[in-house]
Chains A and B, each alone.
Chain A
Amino acid sequence: MAVSNPTPTEYIQHHLQNLTFGLHPEHGWSMAHSAEQAAEMGFWAIHLDTMGWSIALGVLFLFVFRKAAKAASTGVPGGLQNFVELMVEFVDNSVKETFHGKSKLIAPLSLTIFCWIFLMNLMDLVPVDVLPMLAQKIAVLFGADPAHVYFKVVPTTDVNATLGMSLSVFALMIFYAIRSKGLSGFIGELTLHPFNTPNNKLVQALLIPVNFLLEVVTLLARPISLALRLFGNMYAGELIFILIALLGLWQLPLHFPWAVFHILIVVLQAFIFMMLTIVYMSLAIEEH
């Protein structure tokens, strides 16, 4: 347990707090010792656990796939190569079915999204106390107060991580839209739809603000929904794991079914993120 004798609320709050390093108004650049301190840091703070785990998992993904790619031969494929080729073909087919433009970026982007998010989600299946306790033990060796060592293992339960990815996807969406339709085409799409009166220029001009409002909301809803969907699913799953962990002995029969069910969510959310990215990209390059 995180604190020597925590109440359930303290336990849950402790589990949901990131390990934060940032610019505190009073202490300068330092580790946050409590949720309040972390909140006071505002924007100039970084979640070390989220960054560490996500980068480690991304590197793991790239390491494994790079290894397979380097060894890729046209002969009979081995186990690892088989797996990697399976993933690549699966992603490639998904992209080809949905995205009809020509782009060298979309397929690797989708593969990275799928595998990376899958691995990050998968961290949810590690029992909730194992890695935080390990982190505490290590931190105590360096003289830290165990109560202040926060450690959140699943990067996708941090809204910063999911928003970081979805905003990158959003930037790519806008880039592709402008590249395929031109700046004027992109602006026209934002202002001349959905209300369109080609015969009356005055009404058309009056409708521009209305159209713009509607289209901008539609456009902005995409990255935000993309990020919040993944975040919400994983956060809720994590929270239920924490609640189950609070039950004492009763957690044993409950953990397993929830973990089994969660496997579905882990894969499904990674797949949904990938598919929606592809769909948004194809929407960006296609004329309405």
Chain B
Amino acid sequence: MNLNLTLIGQAIAFAVFVWFCMKYVWPPVMQALQERQKKIADGLDAASRANRDLEVAQEQANETLRESKEQAAEILEQAHKRSNQMIEEARDNARQEGERMIANARTEIEQEVNRAKEELRAQVSRLAIEGAERILESSIDEAKHRELVDKLAAEL
């Protein structure tokens, strides 16, 4: 239990160990710890940032989707309208055409009738003239002839 040189030796050893620890052990470990802390903090930061970005992107995607749906609906509506219009137009055209054709046919028929009438008239007059000639050839009986002519005239 006597105090001796061991005390000084121990103090020197202690000083050397503390110096070594301070110089070569503590700083690298502390540095590693701090760097890891920073790295983890950065990682968490990046994760939250990415989360935020994802939210924004999702919102944008939803917005775009909504817009495109609206556009599609609009286009569809326009197409419907246009097709209806086209059908309407085509129907109108067809009706007009039909009416025009009917009118044409009618005028043609009228012309035909008129021509036939003209022809008939011409034939009647020719027949009348022929009949008159024949009557004139045989004899003229006024009473009889008048009756005949009247009959002819009534036929016209």
B6 touches A161 (CB 8 A): yes
| Chain B residues whose C-beta falls within 8 Å of the C-beta of A58 in the assembled complex | 13, 17
Number of interface residues of B (CB under 8 A): 32
A43 touches B18 (CB 8 A): no
Partner of A116, one of B2, B17, B22, B27: B17
A155 to B13, CA, bound (A): 13
Number of interface residues of A (CB under 8 A): 53
Given contacts A74-B32, A112-B21, A107 and B2 within 8 Å (CB-CB): no
Q: Which listed segment binds B: A45-53, A182-190, A197-205?
A: A45-53
In terms of DSSP, what is the predominant structure of the interface of chain A?
helix
0/1 interface trace, chain B 29-40, chain A, CB 8 Å (1 if under): 111110110010
Q: Which listed segment binds B: A61-69, A136-144, A214-222?
A: A61-69
A163 touches B28 (CB 8 A): no
B6 touches A66 (CB 8 A): no
B6 touches A50 (CB 8 A): yes
Answer yes or no: B3 CB below 8 A from chain A CBs.
yes
Answer yes or no: B5 CB below 8 A from chain A CBs.
yes
Within 8 A of A (CB), among B1-60: 1-11, 13-15, 17-18, 20-22, 24-33, 35-36, 39
Given contacts A58-B17, A167-B11, A69 and B25 within 8 Å (CB-CB): yes
Given contacts A84-B29, A168-B15, A41 and B4 within 8 Å (CB-CB): yes
Given contacts A112-B17, A160-B10, A165-B11, A45 and B26 within 8 Å (CB-CB): no
Given contacts A51-B10, A62-B25, A68-B29, A46 and B5 within 8 Å (CB-CB): yes
A165 touches B29 (CB 8 A): no
> 16 extra interchain contacts, Cβ-Cβ under 8 A, other than A50-B6, A160-B7, A160-B10?
A43-B5, A45-B2, A45-B4, A46-B6, A62-B17, A62-B20, A66-B20, A69-B24, A85-B32, A88-B29, A108-B18, A112-B21, A158-B6, A160-B3, A164-B7, A168-B11
Q: Give B contacts to A, CB under 8 Å.
A: 1-11, 13-15, 17-18, 20-22, 24-33, 35-36, 39
The 22 listed contacts between A and B (C-beta, < 8 Å) are: A41-B4, A45-B4, A45-B5, A47-B4, A50-B6, A54-B10, A58-B17, A69-B27, A69-B28, A69-B32, A75-B36, A88-B29, A108-B25, A109-B18, A112-B17, A116-B17, A158-B6, A160-B7, A160-B10, A161-B6, A161-B7, A165-B10
